[in-house]
Structure 1
Amino acid sequence: MTAISADRILTAAGWLDKAEVSLADGRIERIESVSRPVAFSYLAPGFIDIQVNGFDSIDLATSSPDTWPALALGLVSRGVTSWLPTLISRPLDAYAAWLEDVRVFAGGVHGPRVLGVHLEGPWLGGLVGAHVDVAKGSIDVEWCRSLSSTVRIVTLGPERPGAIEAIEYLCNRGIIVAAGHSNANRRAAQRAFDAGVSLLTHCFNATTPIHQREPGLTGLALVRDDVYISLIADGQHVHPDILKIAVRAKGPERTILVSDSSGWAAGALGATKIQLIDGAPRKSDGGLAGSALTLDAAIRYMVNNEVLRLDDALRCTSTVPAQLLGASEIGVIRIGAEADLVALDDNLQVVAVWVSGKQIV
């Protein structure tokens, strides 16, 4: 049996001071207070990143699967214990082979577990950002039918012809449908949310600007209690005051922090050439193209800028994404849950990580 102690442990019930978590067979067996010296400052649920396009020099859209284990180890070194490989818009005939590569990769042992795939495209709306291979015309529901069971999230534009039929089909299959890269007005957004869209991908970035007489997709997502939002908290994508507005509107319980990280060091995001400028990957025209963010850095940014308390920031990278995915056994420290854990020091730097009770970092 493995025992991990910390000054503060974020359990399902809240902070527990000077305590210890005991692990057995990959799960949490016991949580109790201790009087002896402890090993770590903080112990929290392992992070869950639902939007990862790449990491450092590895771009998931174009790199060989042989490089993906290195990407996974990079993620786990930053506290990520579960993740969704994310594919930006590609030609329609490129998806089947890529999804099969992910399926094979997920069956191996590479550190953090793969919970499925997030397809960011190819049926995006009017704000495509760095996406080049956006599909044309009406959303092809027959193409959606061809998607493998590896797919967990699909981001699409609600204003696209055929969107409602596609949303209803995907939701009926148990796939989470997100709105994103879209300038949908309130009416189109309302129809999409009513049809089953439950997430706004990277809120405020490539989403409809709010106008006082037309809240649009972004404004409606902020006031719908049944919709989650994801945020990129790197100081480049969203101003901290806007982050505060978002969190106050949604509450931490409907806010998910994502990295939206790209393989910036490789100089490309899919077919788009990028370079790192002032800490963020950018296209030649200066537009953002993914991020160089990691979830541990997002937590520090939210806490240091007084957007979220530490406990809420940690939940927004673990408990809340787990709830969105319906993954009740992860993202939480409670007896019987998977032993996916991250230890942090006083500066909120990752110092140790466990996946299913096995220490990886």
Structure 2
Amino acid sequence: MSAGQAQATPAAPTTEASSKSIPATQKSWRVTGSGDIDKVLKFGDVPVPKLKKGDILVKVQAAALNPVGHKVLKLLPGFIARRAKAHEFEIAGVVVDANGTEFKEGDEIFGAIPVLSVFQNGYGALAQYTAVSAQQAILRPKNVTPTQAAGLSIAGLTAYQGLIDIAKLEAGQSVFINGGSTAVGSFAIQLAKAKGAHVAVSASGKNEQYVRNLGADEFFDYTKAPLHEQLLAADPNPKYHVFLEAVGMNDPTLFVESEKYLAPGGVFLDVGPQGGYLKFFWKVFLQPSWLGGTKRKWKLIALDVKKEYLVAFAKLVEEGKVKPLVDSVFSFEDTLKAYERIKTSRATGKVVVKVDPTAE
């Protein structure tokens, strides 16, 4: 989905919502316990949140869903999960109470509510109104709509933090992205190309044109053979400076074999292991090189929603160098159907819930 032409100015304020019209209660998707999301996420009435110092109250226009949204509810004990009066972590909306921050009522923003904050403070993105830290929100670029902007912050900043902040990717270097059609992978392709890097990508064959349209220079179909075998056969020269595991490792083989395709001094970035934890920790952290351990750096991308990252990423969006990627849009009432789409692991781009039916 095109973001349109780059604009240097922020979105114009709207005066539709004001503090005088804020209700006492609202509709939200709240968490009722631990377990499968289709059983524990319920639609109903909850209070509009009270603000703490440094927070802003936002009338939510759109929320983007994340795989961690349904996975975390199977891991948390029920007494913690039930703290979330509204679930999920990415929003776009309109400020209705600036609460003494740098924002003003009517500002159109996008941002993120970290996972921990949702279960500590009780409010995430799937509500008509939510509280957001002013340090984790910025003005929405004028060249993107609320439904496009809702999905920028978590996947976009994960890719940005990994490639730019941790790996220090430079022009002329090469990067391999495993899972190029995922939300993180899709943003990573665009960021790497914006930096002037050579980009190789893996995805299923049906998504080859999708990732090439984003800027991928080389393509590997992971369904044809184990990916590490394909990389060994390709024998890249020069070797990749950065390897981004955007899917999350179930098997550490890609890292174990990475000396053959990741340059000395290169970094293996990972969004986090997805299983096989004992083998993972042995192969990645514990096995010494003299017992076959891998002589390459492994780095976890532990997302930190910093204002400076949001500002830098939004600038790339304004300039048209990074485009928002929306797989599908669902109504607020159909949030559980939106999670069904997420759980297929076939979404290319973000799955978005339109909380305000009038939002673009």
Please indicate, yes or no, whether the TM-score normalized by the shorter chain is above 0.5: no
Q: TM-score range by the shorter chain?
A: under 0.3
| TM-score normalized by the length of structure 1 | 0.27
Structure 1 or 2: larger helix share? 2
Larger radius of gyration: 2
